[in-house]
Amino acid sequence: MRKKIFYHILWIAALSGLLAGVAIFSLAIGSSGVSFRKLVPVLLEGRLTPEYSIIFDIRLPRIILAFAVGGSLSIAGVMLQGMFRNPLVEPYTLGISGGAALGVSAALILGLGRSMSVLSFPLSGMLGALAVMAAVYFLSLRKGMLKMQGLLLTGVMISFISSSLIMLVMAVSRVEDMHGIIFWIMGSLEEPNTALIKIAALTSLTAFFISYGFSVRLNALALGEDEAKTLGVNVEGTKKALFIMASLLTGLSVSIAGIIGFVGLVVPHFMRMVVGRDHRILLPASFLSGAAFLIFCDTLARTIAPPMELPVGVITGILGGMLFVYALNRKANIAEKGSC
Beta carbons of 101 and 128 less than 8 angstroms apart: yes
CB 255 within 8 A of CB 129: yes
Does residue 115 surpass a pLDDT of 60? no
Position 34 scores a pLDDT of 65
Q: Is residue 2 part of a domain?
A: no
**pLDDT of 116:** 53
| pLDDT of 286 higher than 90 | yes
- pLDDT of the residue at 326: 80
Q: Residue 114 has what pLDDT?
A: 54
**Rounded-to-integer distance, Cα 113 and Cα 130, Å:** 20
> Tens of pLDDT along 300-324?
998 887 778 888 988 998 998 888 8
The reported pLDDT for the residue numbered 139 is: 85
List the CATH number of the domain containing 146.
Answer: 1.10.3470.10
Tell me whether residue 334 is in a domain.
no
Assigned domain for 172 exists: yes
**Does 291 have pLDDT greater than 90?**
yes
Q: How many C-beta atoms surround the C-beta of residue 326 within 10 A?
A: 12
Q: How far apart are CA 112 and CA 110, in angstroms?
A: 6
Does residue 305 sit in helix, strand or coil?
coil
Query: What's the domain count of the chain?
Result: 1
For residues 50-65, b (16+ Cβ closer than 10 Å) or e, as one string? ebeebbeeebebbbbb
| Structure confidence at residue 53 (pLDDT) | 78
| 182 assigned to some structural domain | yes
In a domain, 277, yes or no: yes
The per-residue pLDDT for range 248-282, each reduced to its tens digit, is 888 888 888 888 988 999 999 889 989 989 999 99
Residues in the chain: 340
Tell whether pTM > 0.85: yes
Residue 120 within a domain: yes
DSSP assignments along 36-105, one per residue:
HHHHHHHHHH----HHHHIIIIIIHHHHHHHHHHHHHHHHHHHHHHHHHT-TT--GGGGSHHHHHHHHHH
Confidence tier at 112 by pLDDT (50, 70, 90): low
Q: What local confidence, expressed as pLDDT, does residue 289 receive?
A: 96
Q: What is the pLDDT of residues 171-198, one digit of tens each?
A: 887 777 777 777 777 888 888 788 889 9
Q: Taking 70 as the threshold, does the pLDDT of residue 48 lie above it?
A: no
Boundaries of domain holding 208: 63-327
> Would the pLDDT of 170 be above 60?
yes
